Structure 1
């Protein structure tokens, strides 16, 4: 208990430092900046504004009330993160749920990590920290990835390093944005999962996407059932008695399995032709110099 009291007192002391006009810290090189930047400080809630770059757009009222109840009993366990805008004026970088719940409880101050960053850095921090720490739905994550790519001018390869996710994972999320808006909304509302969405992406016509989506929801189809439904729609002659391509029957099991593993590892389409004797060839298409270099690096390690 003594340690907690000391920590709180320290935070309040730093808060007083920030309210002193003679110690207005604007950069990491200013006097006393090392005492504030990166440390936990008790800030007046009224001195904090919401971050316009916040990727989360849905805040469940019931979940907020539950969080508020927890804060009322236990206090803020994890500080929010803010950036300094002006004298005694701050903007949220991450932790908007905690911020909103604290206001519901009626708290006057809130513990916060303070950072100094420009708008671009703030956007990047907000998106990356929320992707990693918050329970965003798949579409919100996809939109966050897309905003990082568009507004920070970052490639999928670099984004993979930045957020600590495989490039194939990022690609799978971004592909969800190709779904019809109604289906995206259904995913955000929990009517279907990301697995359902990934299956529906394989249907190019939006009207057919919607038709299958409605069947998935009304019949409560599993992801596997949805995949089979999509497959049957794309190959309607499958049960008509017409001869199927020999390759689908003659492709050895090790080739089929290996093709899926290659697609996952390379995050791109892989074409494989083979005979029952095990002979064949692999074709890996690329669409730009950057993509060629990426594939080459994965294959050669150089």
Structure 2
């Protein structure tokens, strides 16, 4: 009997997606009140710290600490047991840091049975459900979640999303997964959210800081020159430009970019043309057809 390798996370396979998965997972966790010193953070594990560079800003932590001091921790930290009797944090690092600032001695936790891979999945899933996610946070978290869910790399996920959008069979149930988790489907994530991964750090910061709308930055993506993008971004921020106004500024730059790119391709082709004479049979006939097409294109310019 031939065995097939399961994709994604075997520990959570078969679960419903999104909120349903979150509910099922937390129902299986054990609720405890533990000493805060027993909870340990793995460096760079928290997805929020990776997607939101301002997540652990001192002012934001101070505000959260003040709230925790007044009302306690309303949402338990997600942890898993460690061999030494302590707990490794899965999700909730901001609450854990703020609780320390508030001098809390004990914190509520949900204890999960999880290996490294499942813990990573849980961390991204927990962050994906937060109500205060910006579109940038949500996008980076969403692709990390899709990668964990499918076992594919992010570029492979994007490729599969595009295939499904064009009519390929959705064997990984990506549409259902995205609808259940975010309320949007394959089309949005393949055509719009994937473009956010192409934003420059400067553009991402402008969106995170609410100095510009994401729709404006979408218009900058086709430009290859980072300097041009940076200049236009600054102008869009300063002048409060919308997407339509930005598109009008980008259009002539794109036209120049196309001409410049064509010149480079012509130059490269010129150096390889002598090799056409070596072609034989069907390849030679195809080359003749292409030459005739090029001649016709040039004559009717």
Identify the TM-score tier after normalising by the shorter chain.
Answer: 0.5 to 0.7
Counterparts of 1:101 and 1:228 in 2: how far apart (Å)?
46
Counterpart for residue 40 of structure 1: 31
Counterpart for residue 232 of structure 2: 212
What are the Cα deviations for residues 3-40 of structure 1, in whole angstroms up to 9, with x where unaligned? Answer: xxxxxxxxxxxxxxxxxxxxxxxxxxxxxxxxx96232
Structure 2 CA distance for partners of 1:100 and 1:40, relative to 1, 3 Å: same
Task: Determine helix, strand or coil for the equivalent of 1:102.
Answer: helix
Structure 2 CA distance for partners of 1:61 and 1:196, relative to 1, 3 Å: farther
Counterparts of 1:214 and 1:89 in 2: how far apart (Å)?
49
Q: Report which structure shows greater RCO (CA 8 Å, sep ≥6).
A: 2
2:116 is equivalent to residue 119 of structure 1: yes
Name which of 148, 156, 166 aligns with 2:185.
166
Shifted more, 166-175 versus 112-121: the winner is 166-175
TM-score by length of 1: 0.58
Structure (1/2) with the larger helix percentage: 2
Contact (CA 8 Å) 2:178, 2:186: kept in 1 or not?
A: yes
The offset of 1:93, in angstroms, is 1.8
Structure 2 CA distance for partners of 1:235 and 1:130, relative to 1, 3 Å: same
The offset of 1:173, in angstroms, is 2.4
Which ranges of structure 2 fall in alignment gaps of 5 or more residues? 1-26, 162-172, 257-301
Task: Determine helix, strand or coil for the equivalent of 1:128.
Answer: helix
Counterparts of 2:206 and 2:224 in 1: how far apart (Å)?
18
Counterpart for residue 56 of structure 1: 48
2:128 is equivalent to residue 128 of structure 1: no
Structure 2 CA distance for partners of 1:220 and 1:122, relative to 1, 3 Å: same
Counterpart for residue 145 of structure 1: 142
Counterparts of 1:149 and 1:71 in 2: how far apart (Å)?
32
Counterpart for residue 274 of structure 2: none
What are the Cα deviations for residues 157-192 of structure 1, in whole angstroms up to 9, with x where unaligned? Answer: 535267344223333223112123322233333332
CA RMSD of aligned residues (A): 2.7
